[in-house]
Amino acid sequence: MGIDQIQLNFNPSTLTIMNIAIALIMFGVALDLRLADFKRTLSSPKPFLVGLTGQFLLFPAFTFLLVLAIQPRPSIALGLFLVAACPGGNLSNFLTYLAKGNTPLSITMSAVSTVIAIIMTPINFMFWGSLYPATDSLLRSFTINPIDMFVSIFMMLGLPLVIGMFIKSKFPAIAKKMNTFMKYFSIIFFVIFVGATLAANFTYFIEFVGMVVIIVFLQNLVAILSGYFSARAFKLPERDRRAIAIEVGIQNSGLGLILIFNFFDGLGGMAIVAAWWGVWHLISGLTLATFWSRKEPKTPSIEGGLHV
């Protein structure tokens, strides 16, 4: 049986728990946010807009070109399109801080890209997936209602974001106490989630992971480089470049896995791509952040402005 035919196993009750856990992670992120963070972005929108363009336009487009060049199996290609359509991952803020990047920019990008992803993730995924003939036919074999996907993403990301920001605004002391716990929880949960997915399907993973290692490496490299050099092309300071590169390069593959089990019955190539992304972007992100942590970013010129 080929990778396009296998379906990874995940207990339905466990899947429900995972949906709730993803929502709790987003709730934890929201406890760090205030409306002032969004207002700050509007007062200096250039870095933010460059970052979002890299996240939702450049990276999915470059992924499409990568798929055209390599022509992987259809389920693998569909997994790549889904990962490219997801918002930034919940570890990007920590990695940006470690890399001496613009952490406030990273936090704001994470929050706003998550809100935008409620609409853009289904649109991007269906658009690029339908452009590639092999994945278009695969998409048609499933009954995918974009509205259902929108509602699912909203329940996991949008609603917890609103609730978390409300608590931050109305009960700041409680939010502060909860915040530390939720940060640890998000990291531990992500590792357990990916580990549980791999453990429950270890035989399939070992058999087929070799088919996705190189292409996930290339896709992640494309994400990081497209983020960094698009920021450089718009003459953003080094701290902004680092933040945008990490934000685009660290994808919410946990959300991708949940969507794969919710809407595609754990389709083999898609699930293995998303699971390996969950492992690999931790390695690449920590490696890049550690490298940058040893190099002080150049101070921006006066005319470029100081971004903090």
User: Could you report the per-residue pLDDT of 210-224, keeping only the tens digit for each?
Assistant: 788 899 999 999 999
Residues in contact with 73: Cβ distance below 8 Å, sequence separation at least 6, in sequence order: 2, 3, 4, 211, 269
pLDDT of residue 82: 94
Asked whether the predicted pLDDT for residue 240 surpasses 50, the reply is yes
pLDDT band at 228 (very low <50, low <70, confident <90, very high): very high
The whole-chain average pLDDT of the chain stands at: 82
Contact predicate 187/91, CB 8 Å: yes
Contact predicate 102/308, CB 8 Å: yes
Q: How far is 89 from 220, CA to CA, in rounded Å?
A: 13
Most confident of 92-101, 142-151, 191-200: 92-101
Average pLDDT over residues 182-206: 71
In terms of Cα–Cα distance, which of 267, 256, 270, 274 is closest to 18? Answer: 256
Domain 12-292 has CATH 1.10.4080.10: no
pLDDT band at 170 (very low <50, low <70, confident <90, very high): confident
pLDDT digits (tens, 9 = 90+) for 93-105: 788 888 999 887 8
Average pLDDT over residues 113-127: 89
Asked whether the predicted pLDDT for residue 191 surpasses 90, the reply is no
What is the per-residue burial (b if ≥16 Cβ within 10 Å, else e) of 86-107? bbbbbbbbbbbbbbbbbbbbbb
At 240, the amino acid letter reads D
